[in-house]
Amino acid sequence: MKSAIAIRHVPFEDLGNLAPVLAAHGLASRYLDCGLDEIDGRAAREADLLVILGGPIGAYEDNLYPVLGEELHVLERRLAEGRPTLGICLGAQLIARALGAKVYSGAHKEIGWSALELSAAGKASALRHLQDVEVLHWHGDTFDLPAQAVALASTPVTPNQAFAWGAATLALQFHLEVTAAGLERWFIGHACEISATAGVNLAALRAQSRGCSDKLQGPAHRVLDEWLKRVLAP
């Protein structure tokens, strides 16, 4: 059976609604938890699919969090070998950094739901299923577009919301994996960030999330399904 490894930085930022799609493609999923499991090992390097999930640390903080160096090493090898790799939020930033691009603090934090502006390439990619669909943004950092990467999506706050690199690498700054039930754990785990971010009201964010997360499920499944069909094809 094919394998999917998800590198998880905090327990509540997991595969969420993407897990059933991976199973439907015959991928047996398991997590490698940062701080507990070996990250730079055979499992992550040789998995049929590697997913690097989000987290509250900066992709440039490997002096504080040495595990980031392990993740970068895994990514550098997988990218060089063209192995299917998906990065979400921090995962996307780490892919950008592994490709030599700069990752840094953005001018403003982007927390909440809004639709993406898809590029021409984005409209021709699996992300076309997200046209006019509100997705969750939850980040303070951003990145420059790596050399030879294809920009797929943007928002007014964050010009680089998604890119493809090569035939089998997809980086998403936004979150398409979230569920309404799972987000309650985010609200608790990120309580300090929410209270410290101007313009973010938890009650309003929770109410918005109930409707938006349900509407995101189908399009998110179609995005991952189409992308997996391309990158896992024999």
For 47-92, write each residue's pLDDT tens digit: 999 999 999 999 999 999 999 999 999 999 999 999 999 999 999 9
Q: Low-confidence residues of the chain, pLDDT below 70?
A: none
Give me the pLDDT at residue 187, please. Answer: 96
Kindly report the pTM of this predicted structure.
0.97
94: Cβ contacts below 8 Å, ≥ 6 apart? 52, 59, 68, 71, 72, 75, 87, 103
What is the predicted pLDDT for the residue at 74? 98
Q: 18: closest CA among 216, 221, 168, 214? A: 221
Domains of the chain: 2-231 (3.40.50.880)
According to DSSP, the β-strands at 169-172 and 162-165 are antiparallel
- Residue-level pLDDT at 1: 87
